[in-house]
C-alpha cells in the first residue's frame, strides 16, 4: 500500500519516477530548471571544464543570472561574469540574462515564467527555495551539484520530512508575509526546520498575496529548511496564467501525509516584526525597537524588492523626508519592476524624500556593494539575513523588517512602524 505523502514528497516521487518516496530515502531526480549566478556558476563551470564537458543536457533548462556583484564592482567580479558569459554563449544557454536584462535571480525567474507549479528546481544559491510559492519543489545546492546537473539533467536528494504550518485569519494593516515568516522563525528557531520541508496550508493562505508567499518561501532556509512550499490555489493559478511559459502540474498533500509537527499561526495576531542582530530568529514586535537609531535603510532584495514592496514604501515616503543623517537605498528587483515603478511615479516620491534608486542587484544584501556598512553602523533592511558582518563590517548591525517599517524607520531615524510617524 502506498503511504501518504506531502506535497514535496509527491513532486520528488514524480521526478524520480517512483510510485512513492519516504523521508530519509536517497533518490535521483530529473530537474526542470538549474540556476546559477555570478558567484556560484563560475565554480561549476570550471569543474565542467576540468571534466572536459562539451555540452549541457538541455540549453533551455539552465538560467544564468549575473546579479550579486553586477554591474561589476571590481576586477574579480568582472572576471566571474566574463566566465559565465562565455560559457553561456559557447553552450548556447537560452536563459542568460546580461546587465540591462537581468534582475535579482529569485524575482527574475518567476517573472520570466521559467519556474512553475510542479517543477523541480535547483540553484547554487540558498534562497532558491523562493519558488515554493508556486507549488514547486525548489532548493539551494552546491556549485558542484549544479555542474553535475547541467551535464546530465539529474540531481540527488535525501527526501525530507516535513513541518506543517496551518495559517488562519487575516493580516493586520501594514503586516505582510515578511512579518509572518519572521514570526515563524522566531518561534521555531534558525534550526527549527533543519533539512525539513516547511509546508503551508489553511484558510489563511487565501489572504496572502503571491508576493507574500514568495517572501515566506524565500526565507524558509533561514529556519534551516530544505524547502518551503505553498498549495496551488486561484491566486497561484492567476500568477501562472500571467507569467508561465510552460505546462504545470498541481500536487496536493495526501490527507494521511506524515508531519513531524504541526504549527497553527493566526495571521491576525502576527505583529509588525523586526529581527534584531545577529540572527533572523531574534525577533521582537516593532514597538519594542523604537530606541534603536539607524544609519541606513535598504529596501529591495529577492525577499522584498517587488513592485508591491515598492508601492508600500512609496505610500509611506510620500510627502515626507528621510531623517537627516540616514541613507536610503531603494533597489527594484528586476528591470521590469524598475520600469513599472518609474512609470507609477514611485521614483519621484523616493528621490523627493531623499532616497537613491539603484539598478537591480543583490548589492548590499550580501555585503557586495551599493551600500556597505562601516563599523558601528546600523541598518534596517528588507533583506533576508542579518548575520554578523552580513552587510559590511563585523561591528555593524542589521535589523530585518518589511518595507513599511523600513520606510517609516528611514523617516524617523529610528526603528518604528508607519503608525508611529507624526
**In terms of DSSP bridges, do strands 273-275 and 356-357 run parallel, antiparallel, or are they unpaired?**
unpaired
Which cell numbers hold the place of 126?
540558498
Helix (H) or strand (E) holding 95: strand 95-96
**In terms of DSSP bridges, do strands 33-37 and 154-158 run parallel, antiparallel, or are they unpaired?**
unpaired
Phi, psi of 380 (to 5 degrees): -100, 130
CA dist 262 and 163 (Å) reads: 6
Sign of CA dihedral 244, 246, 250, 251: negative
Helices 335-343 and 346-353: crossing angle in degrees, nearest 10, is 80
> Residue 359 has what pLDDT?
94
Whether the ω angle into residue 409 lies within 30 degrees of 0, i.e. cis, is no
> Residue 291 has what pLDDT?
85
Domain boundaries defined on the chain: 7-265, 274-417
> Residue 1 has what pLDDT?
59
CA dist 327 and 255 (Å) reads: 50
> Residue 290 has what pLDDT?
75
Query: What is the number of alpha carbons within 13 Å of residue 261 lying toward its C-beta?
Result: 7
Chain mean position to CA 195: 18
**127 contact partners, CB below 8 Å, separation of at least 6:** 106, 140, 218, 219, 221, 302, 303, 384
pTM of the model: 0.95
Is-contact 198 163, C-beta < 8 A?
Answer: yes
Domain topology for 274-417: Aconitase; domain 3 (3.30.499)
3-class DSSP state for residue 411?
helix
Helices (H), 73-203: 75-91, 105-111, 143-152, 177-188
| Shared fold status for 7-265 and 274-417 | yes
CA dist 43 and 365 (Å) reads: 21
Domain 7-265 classified CATH 3.40.50.970?
A: no
Is-contact 166 202, C-beta < 8 A?
Answer: yes
Q: Collect the ranges in the chain with pLDDT lower than 50.
A: none
Cα angle: 282, vertex 288, 293; to 5 degrees: 90
Helices (H), 344-402: 346-353
> Residue 66 has what pLDDT?
94
Amino acid at each position: 500500500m502506498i503511504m501518504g505523502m506531502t506535497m514535496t514528497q509527491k513532486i520528488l516521487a514524480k521526478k524520480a519516477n517512483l510510485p512513492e518516496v519516504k523521508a530519509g530515502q536517497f533518490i535521483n531526480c530529473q530537474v526542470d530548471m538549474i540556476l546559477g549566478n555570478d558567484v556560484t556558476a563560475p565554480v561549476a563551470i570550471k569543474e565542467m571544464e576540468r571534466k572536459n564537458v562539451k555540452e549541457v543536457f538541455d540549453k533551455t533548462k539552465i538560467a544564468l543570472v549575473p546579479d550579486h556583484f553586477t554591474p561589476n564592482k571590481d576586477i574579480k567580479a568582472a572576471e566571474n561574469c566574463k566566465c559565465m558569459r562565455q560559457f553561456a554563449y559557447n553552450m548556447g544557454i537560452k536563459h542568460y540574462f546580461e546587465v540591462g536584462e537581468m534582475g535579482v535571480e529569485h524575482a527574475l525567474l518567476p517573472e520570466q515564467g521559467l519556474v512553475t507549479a510542479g517543477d523541480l528546481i535547483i540553484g547554487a544559491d540558498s534562497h532558491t527555495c523562493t519558488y515554493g510559492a508556486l507549488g514547486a519543489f525548489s532548493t539551494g545546492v552546491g556549485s558542484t551539484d549544479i555542474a553535475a546537473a547541467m551535464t546530465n539533467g539529474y540531481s540527488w536528494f535525501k527526501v525530507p520530512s516535513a513541518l506543517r504550518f496551518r495559517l488562519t485569519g487575516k493580516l493586520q494593516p501594514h503586516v505582510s508575509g515578511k512579518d509572518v515568516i519572521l514570526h515563524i522563525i522566531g518561534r521555531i528557531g534558525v534550526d527549527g526546520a533543519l533539512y525539513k520541508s516547511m509546508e503551508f496550508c489553511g484558510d489563511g493562505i487565501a489572504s496572502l498575496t503571491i508576493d507574500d508567499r514568495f517572501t515566506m518561501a524565500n526565507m524558509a532556509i533561514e529556519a534551516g529548511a530544505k524547502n518551503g512550499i505553498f498549495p496551488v490555489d486561484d491566486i497561484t493559478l492567476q500568477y501562472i496564467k500571467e507569467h508561465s511559459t510552460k505546462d504545470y502540474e498541481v500536487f496536493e498533500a495526501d490527507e494521511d501525509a506524515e508531519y513531524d509537527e504541526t504549527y497553527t499561526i493566526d495571521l491576525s495576531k502576527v505583529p509588525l516584526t523586526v529581527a534584531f542582530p545577529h540572527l533572523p530568529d531574534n525577533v521582537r514586535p516593532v514597538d519594542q525597537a523604537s530606541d534603536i537609531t539607524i544609519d541606513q535603510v535598504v529596501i529591495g532584495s529577492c525577499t522584498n524588492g517587488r513592485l508591491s514592496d515598492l508601492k508600500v514604501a512609496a505610500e509611506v515616503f510620500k510627502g515626507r523626508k528621510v531623517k537627516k543623517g540616514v541613507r536610503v537605498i531603494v533597489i527594484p528587483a528586476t528591470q521590469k519592476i524598475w520600469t513599472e515603478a518609474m512609470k507609477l511615479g514611485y521614483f519621484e516620491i523616493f528621490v523627493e524624500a531623499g532616497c537613491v534608486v539603484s539598478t537591480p542587484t543583490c548589492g548590499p544584501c550580501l555585503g557586495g556593494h551599493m551600500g556597505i556598512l562601516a563599523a558601528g553602523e546600523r541598518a534596517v533592511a528588507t533583506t533576508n539575513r542579518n548575520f554578523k558582518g552580513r552587510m559590511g563590517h563585523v561591528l555593524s548591525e542589521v535589523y530585518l523588517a518589511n518595507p513599511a517599517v523600513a520606510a517609516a524607520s528611514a523617516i524617523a531615524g529610528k526603528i518604528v512602524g508607519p503608525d508611529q510617524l507624526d
